[in-house]
Structure 1
Amino acid sequence: MSRRTGAVLYNCVMDILLISGFLGAGKTTFIRALSRACGREFVILENEYGPLSVDGPRLDPDNRSADPPEPAVPDPAAVQASNPTRSAPLRERAQSALPQARRIWELTEGCICCSMSLSFAHSVLTIANALNPDYLVVEPSGVAYPGRILEELQKICYGDQIRLLAPVSIVDARSADRQLADYPELTRNLLVSCGWLLLSHSEAFSEADFDRCINLLRPEGNLPAAMHFPRQHYSRWSEAAWLNLLRTRWIAGQPVSAAGSAQTESDLTSELENLGVYLDTPAADPARLTLLLSSLCEGRFGAIVRAKGFCRSLAGPLAFDVTNQRFEVKASEKTTARGRAVVIGHGLDPAGIITAFSHLGKVERCLDPDKLTPEDIDGNHECDGKLNS
């Protein structure tokens, strides 16, 4: 029985892996790599910052994401029969397990480390009981403090039935210094609460580059003594390296920190503005998309911290990302989900952003229900390219 909720656990053996990082650090990209490399079933509990989900459909291109299932008692014989190849080599199981490995469970009731309501605990326990995956990957929003989430997860963990793996913190190697300057408290919490510290966008790094980056980060937080810091980008990891990540346990009772400070994740949430739009673009022009993303990077519509989305285009389905005043457009997996984009930053110009996206096709604004105004409720939020900025 869980100490926190009193829920009964039925023959579950589930390892929880927390993967944290600031907006645009590369959490979803890392999870996709984990999905390809890991031949075991796992479920992703995702908590995005913004009025609509972008990463869920990208992780789950067949749009299998659904409402949480009702708790059920798994049949031990069926559980054993559903995992007949656990002892097979990891990569040999990868393709057969991949369809199961992208089941997404979206938690939309605010940032999980802000409210920490019982819905988070019940979500974890229901996943353990009803789905019984090998692994639960928890991907909090990019403004979440992992120390607080770890404190809650330690209350949920129960013997060898639900276990906590060493948490992963991801830092963008290209902007570590800027992140430290702009969001020092959040960055410190990411550092002091990690079991693994990974640098994204470090594919071309030498060992000296990794050393230089860790020396930049080390004074900002008391890095855990047992922290793992691979001096190699994960795209070059061997099978043994991935297995090591999935086997490294978070020591029971190991101290975690909420980095007690004046600034909290609620403060970050109130500081950052966000805008979500649905994109109905059966034949968007990739050149127009490139110009739009370039304009976002130049600050024409506000100080953009992160933008991301996907849409259909003349060149096929495309995914796009903006972070650190850089943008990337790449081919995306086909998905039945509706195209969409989220823009996060300071001093946003919503009308200008909607107008810019409307040059790709029809745009519909997705409003945050917690921030609706009478004007929002009465207004028409569809745009066909004729909206004046």
Structure 2
Amino acid sequence: MQIRTPLTVITGPLGSGKTTLLRHILDTYSKKIAILMNEFGEIAIDAKIIAGKNVEMADLGGGCVCCSLLGEFEAAVNEIIDTVDPDIIVVETTGVAEPDALVFDIQESLTTVRLDGVVTVIDADAMIKYPSVGHTSRIQIKAADTILLNKVDLVSESELKAIEEKLRSFNEVASIIRTSRGKVDPDLLFGIGRERVQPQPHHVHQPEFESFSTTSTATFNRQRFEEFADSLGADVYRAKGFIRFPEGIYLFNFVAGRWDMEPFEQEATQLVFIGKLVSERKEEIIARLKLCEQ
């Protein structure tokens, strides 16, 4: 009898820390992992962050894995098993994906894998700043076997308890694990052995966000860029990418008004901006970014 490869789905809202979690898993877990990534945006920033860590990559491109890419997803999974034979497959969905259709497809159509579990990453800080839980985020929470409550260092204990009560109102059975920067024992995420059966979903995917991207060969003034990052309005919910300063290239991460940077080996400036109606501000944002050039 064929042994099915365990597959774990990592989902969660934009900027919740899914790629940071993957980086931590790759740094601390010894088993052979193959990763499928489905990003929101024209430039595959997250794939560039993960690449080069002795891990097999298959980037599904800028669509929605819960809808239009299901056929491509199945082909990618089967190809990875045939060519790589990993111990575990991890699928990181885009932050706007509704994972119920993906879970149903895995359970019904993929004979080479077994769904080990669904891990939903939730941004505690964003839950306080934006307490209204949208349609897609609700589905992501309900689908979870494990909820990773991330960025707990940014909120108080009383706020954490209130967040956990809200999460419990959507999902009574998932375990909730508190973490900061995705630092969690990978053994808590794998080997779940999901037994729940996902009914066939009947939904029309309605993306809440849109995005645009920009690239540049210029070198940027760090102080001016930091002022630019501070000034991004509420309609920019998420921004990520690489930015070149005189001292080198940095990975830039912006979520819900909070941002950070870290040195990163990359060739040029590439940035993606995500938000509601953010394309209406594209020209203005790019013009202000250009003012940050040296």
Q: Give me the TM-score of the superposition, normalised by structure 1.
A: 0.68
CA offsets 1:88-111 (integer angstroms, 9 cap, x no match): xxxxxxxxxxx323x321112621
Q: Per-residue deviation at 1:139?
A: 1.0
CA contact 1:113–1:144 (8 Å) conserved in 2: yes
Q: Percent identity?
A: 23
SS class of match (1:275): strand
- Aligned residue number for residue 154 of structure 1: 107
CA offsets 1:168-221 (integer angstroms, 9 cap, x no match): 00111012255552x5211221121001001111136676554321112222x2
CA contact 1:274–1:345 (8 Å) conserved in 2: yes
- Aligned residue number for residue 22 of structure 2: 31
- Cα distance in 2 for residues equivalent to 1:121 and 1:187: 24
**Unaligned 5+ runs, structure 1:** 2-10, 63-98, 362-384
SS class of match (2:226): helix
Amino acid at match of 2:136: L
- Aligned residue number for residue 220 of structure 2: 284
SS class of match (2:125): coil
The alpha-carbon distance between structure 1 residues 26 and 335, as it changes in their structure 2 partners (threshold 3 A), is same
Q: Per-residue deviation at 1:126?
A: 0.8
Once the two structures are superposed, the pairs formed by residues 219-234 of structure 1 within 5 Å of their partners are: 219=169, 221=170, 223-225=171-173, 227-233=174-180
Amino acid at match of 2:237: V
Q: What is the aligned counterpart of 2:187 among 212, 235, 243?
A: 243
CA contact 2:17–2:182 (8 Å) conserved in 1: no
CA offsets 1:323-353 (integer angstroms, 9 cap, x no match): 112222x2232134x4210111234322112
- Cα distance in 1 for residues equivalent to 2:77 and 2:39: 17
The alpha-carbon distance between structure 1 residues 244 and 175, as it changes in their structure 2 partners (threshold 3 A), is closer
- Cα distance in 1 for residues equivalent to 2:178 and 2:275: 32
Once the two structures are superposed, the pairs formed by residues 8-47 of structure 1 within 5 Å of their partners are: 13-47=4-38
Q: Does 1:173 align with 2:116?
A: no
Amino acid at match of 1:305: Y
Q: Does 1:163 align with 2:100?
A: no
Once the two structures are superposed, the pairs formed by residues 48-59 of structure 1 within 5 Å of their partners are: 48-59=39-50
- Cα distance in 2 for residues equivalent to 1:236 and 1:31: 10
Q: Per-residue deviation at 1:272?
A: 2.8
CA offsets 1:122-168 (integer angstroms, 9 cap, x no match): 1111111111111211111111001111111112443xx52211110
CA contact 2:66–2:101 (8 Å) conserved in 1: yes
- Cα distance in 1 for residues equivalent to 2:198 and 2:210: 33
- Cα distance in 2 for residues equivalent to 1:213 and 1:170: 13
Q: What is the aligned counterpart of 2:93 among 140, 151, 168?
A: 140
- Cα distance in 1 for residues equivalent to 2:210 and 2:183: 36
- Aligned residue number for residue 100 of structure 1: 54
Q: Per-residue deviation at 1:12?
A: 6.5
Q: What is the aligned counterpart of 2:162 among 200, 212, 230?
A: 212
Instruction: Output the aligned Cα RMSD.
Output: 2.6
Q: What is the aligned counterpart of 1:335 among 246, 256, 266?
A: 266
- Cα distance in 2 for residues equivalent to 1:56 and 1:231: 26
The alpha-carbon distance between structure 1 residues 231 and 208, as it changes in their structure 2 partners (threshold 3 A), is farther
CA contact 1:23–1:142 (8 Å) conserved in 2: yes
Q: Per-residue deviation at 1:44?
A: 1.5
**Unaligned 5+ runs, structure 2:** none
CA contact 2:119–2:148 (8 Å) conserved in 1: yes
CA contact 1:207–1:231 (8 Å) conserved in 2: no
- Aligned residue number for residue 314 of structure 1: 246
- Cα distance in 2 for residues equivalent to 1:204 and 1:174: 6
The alpha-carbon distance between structure 1 residues 236 and 185, as it changes in their structure 2 partners (threshold 3 A), is closer
SS class of match (1:189): helix
Structure possessing the higher radius of gyration over alpha carbons: 1
Q: Give me the TM-score of the superposition, normalised by structure 2.
A: 0.88
Amino acid at match of 2:121: I
- Aligned residue number for residue 131 of structure 1: 84
- Cα distance in 2 for residues equivalent to 1:215 and 1:137: 28
The alpha-carbon distance between structure 1 residues 140 and 353, as it changes in their structure 2 partners (threshold 3 A), is same
CA offsets 1:213-239 (integer angstroms, 9 cap, x no match): 1112222x2x152x22124547564xx
- Cα distance in 2 for residues equivalent to 1:247 and 1:126: 23
CA offsets 1:349-382 (integer angstroms, 9 cap, x no match): 2211221222344xxxxxxxxxxxxxxxxxxxxx
The alpha-carbon distance between structure 1 residues 217 and 50, as it changes in their structure 2 partners (threshold 3 A), is same
